[in-house]
Amino acid sequence: MGTYEYFSVKYEDGVALVTMNRPPVNALSKGLLDELEKVLDEVEKAPEGRVMVVAAGDEIRTKSRKMFCGGADISEFGQAWSSGDSSKMTRRGQLLLTRIEKFPKVTVVALNGSAFGGGTELAMCFHLRVMAEEAELGQPEIKLAIIPGYGGTQRLPRLMGRTPALYYMLTGDSIPAQEALKHGLVNFVVPMAEVLPKAMELAKRLAQGPPVAQRMVIEAVNEGMGRPVDEGLLVELEKMTAVTRTEDAIEGAMAFMQKRPPQFKGK
């Protein structure tokens, strides 16, 4: 298990709980993104972590609100903009967040605070999202005369629909938790104190599931999105054919017939 400046990783009941802690607001600096890459490397290889949960540390807050992530580190981005070299930094963030979206283990984000800009873009990459009812999301980049650069223009419309996504990106208005839930941007909205327990409960349940089949679902959805249905069905066929050859698929069928809980091994 690695040692990090901005992250801690704890394994519990098949879940890797990753806490992000760069006060005051978990701004996405180069150093934080570099460490996040290493955390992903660790969790991906760790057999004791079948599901990953990411939450913000308790001290991540402003004077007025609890935060999950305040977005990109503007001081670093300002230097990149002034030097005309923002594309390299932006592309790095895009690739890292896409890695989370395609992560081979199920990922859950515990939004135990508000997330704006790159923070919302980070949250959207997780497979499942649990949000505090007191928190807000948002893509306020337009107020700085820029646009979302870590995938917001692509993922927000796909998750909540083109019309509301355009509204929130063009105005820069914040997205309240209940609006995020209504539009499918998050899976659950609960009181702040219940966010992490809810995320962990969900993750522990998923950790009992079949890892290979879970990975195939993630791959089928990611590879099929944006393709015509006929092409997506071929992707599904490929994944279905592969997963039926696994030991877990045999175990699942046997457990069903024997009326007992299955014991999945990820094989």
Annotated catalytic residues are 121, 141
Backbone angles phi, psi at 107, to 5 degrees: -120, 140
Alpha-carbon distances, residue 172 vs 24, 28, 146, 149, 159 (angstroms) = 22, 19, 11, 14, 17
Count, residues in the chain: 267
- Residue (of 21, 32, 51, 159) closest to 93 by Cα position: 32
Q: How far apart are CA 51 and CA 207, in angstroms?
A: 6
The full 3-state SS of the chain, as one line of letters, equals: CCCCCCEEEEEECCEEEEEECCCCCCCECHHHHHHHHHHHHHHHHCCCCCEEEEEECCCCECCCCEEEECCECHHHHHHHHHCCCHHHHHHHHHHHHHHHHCCCCEEEEEECCEEECHHHHHHHCCCEEEEECCCEEECHHHHHCCCCCCCHHHHHHHHHCHHHHHHHHHHCCEEEHHHHHHCCCCCEEECHHHHHHHHHHHHHHHHCCCHHHHHHHHHHHHHHCCCCHHHHHHHHHHHHHHHCCCHHHHHHHHHHHCCCCCCCCCC
